Structure formats: structure tokens, C-alpha cells
Amino acid sequence: MWTPERFFSEHEAPENLESQVDAVTRFVARHKAENRRVVLVTSGGTTAPLERNVLAPFTRLYSHTTNPFFELLEEPARGDGKTIRVADAHAEKLLAVLHSFHAARASETLLNINFVSVIEYLFLLRGVATAMRPLGAHAMFYLAAAVSDFFIPITDIPEHKIQSDGGSLNIHMDQVPKVLGILVREWAPEAYTISFKLETDDALLIPKAERSLKSYSHSLVIGNNLHRRKHEVVLVSRRPDNTFEHTWIRTKDHEIEQDIVASLDARHSEHLAI
């Protein structure tokens, strides 16, 4: 069984880890001096390499929109190979998003860091969480990435490409260590920490969210059903008397993330006031 301590002691840190954590440390220091809150948002999926020189990783995919970015664009007119247009139907909305993005970059209130493999993700999460610890309760962790549940330890990964001429391939994978508990206990104990629980069986959703809060003692679990995640979520938290509170958010006419963010902003303010 892999504990977080064993995982970090037996795997090498990514080559760019130090530079990325240094950038986060500077970012945190700047906003701490201005008494601002800082949120780490993780998103996307992770890979679990099958080879050291990666050609075919095992990938934990994440669900994405059915209206991808390419559908917002129009091909250039014939003879104009350099100009790309945004479709008129989407121009106003995309312009607002683009304006917000550049405003955040210009004001240095947004910092992007990247990861691909689950190993990179875990090292980065530890490094970033530790860098954010000086923020105390002003830190928030919004852990929405679809992290691989299984991986192959570095000592078991072949150096070269796995050959296909031997027929079928049998792979043994170990369980990825759970780091949410150590994040809450050691890396950033005063932060407001949010995890996600995605299920297909409604009967399991709330019990598993409550079990997660019992196991890791973090702040909140956002639970959703795979088939209704764009329109319905439940926020599961613990009251001071250790009973559980379930707050449902449902919407049909706008993106549910707007309501989630508004609720989390209010909850984080309450967390700061404690």
C-alpha cells in the first residue's frame, strides 16, 4: 500500500517542479501582502505512464463540454489563410471571457501551472499547498481534477516501448495514495478545502460525500450525478454539532458554476470569520 510519505520518498520530483513552486510562492507572497484570498483550482485529467519514455500512457479522462471551442470559430475566407473569425452568435460571450482573462493576467491575479501525469500532479499539489500555507484561512483549494485512481510505480515501469508482438498485455497497477488527508492535516491546515464526488447512483452520492468528510475532515464536498452535473449539484458540509448539511443547487437557464462560485465565496467568508 502506498502512503503519501512512501510515494514522495520513492519517486523523483518532476524537473520543473522547483520553478513552478517558486512562481506560486512569489504569487502568494504578493497577494498575502495585499490581504487577498487565493484559490487553487485543479482541473482536467491525469495520465499514469506505462513506460518511462512515454508513448502510450494510461489516461484518466475527464468529461468535457459537448460544445467544444472549435464550434465558436469560423474558417477564414478563401485566399485569407491567416484571419480566423469568431462566429457572430458567440462573439459577445467570448469577448467577455477574453476580456476577463486578459484583465486577470494584467493585474497578476491569475497564475497557470500545468501537469500531465498523476506523479506530476501529486508533487505539484504538495508543493503548491505548502507554498499557500502562509495564507492561513485566506487559502482555498478547489480540487476538481479527475485524478487517476491507479498508477504503476516508477520501479516497475519499463524504460522502453512495450512491444505488441507478444499478444495480450497484462498490467498490474497500484492504488494512488490519498493525499487529501495530509493536505488538511499538514500542508495547509487552515485552508478552506473542497473536494468533488461524482457518481452515477443517486443512492451512493450523499453517503459517500459524508464518508469523505468523516475521513479527511475537510470543509466541503460537491456531489453530482454524472448525468445531471451541468444542472444540479449538492454541497455537503458539517455543522458545528457534527451533523451534515445538504445544500442543493439547481439551474436550467445559466451555467451552474456561477451559483457554485457564489456559494463558495460566501462560505469562505464565513470560514475567515471563525
- 194-226, pLDDT tens digit by residue? 999 999 999 999 999 999 999 999 999 999 999
Q: What is the pLDDT of residues 149-164, one digit of tens each?
A: 999 898 887 666 766 7
Q: Which of 187, 79, 179, 55 is nearest to 132 (CA)?
A: 187
Cβ atoms 190, 139 nearer than 8 A: yes
- Say what the pLDDT of residue 54 is: 58
Asked if pLDDT for residue 174 goes beyond 70, the answer is: yes
Q: In this structure, are strands 85-86 and 73-74 parallel, antiparallel, or unpaired?
A: antiparallel
pTM: 0.89
Cβ atoms 205, 228 nearer than 8 A: no
Band the pLDDT of 236: cuts 50, 70, 90.
very high
- Say what the pLDDT of residue 244 is: 98
Q: What is the CA radius of gyration of the chain?
A: 21
Q: Which of 131, 122, 260, 272 is nearest to 192 (CA)?
A: 272
Averaged pLDDT for residues 223-251: 96
Angle between helices 17-33 and 118-132 (to 10 degrees): 30
- Residue 106: how many other CB atoms lie within 10 Å: 9
Give the Cα separation of 100 and 42 in Å (integer).
19
In SS3 terms, 15-68 reads as CCHHHHHHHHHHHHHHHHHCCCCEEEEECCEEEECCCCCCCCCEEECCCCCCCC
Give the three-class secondary structure for 237.
strand
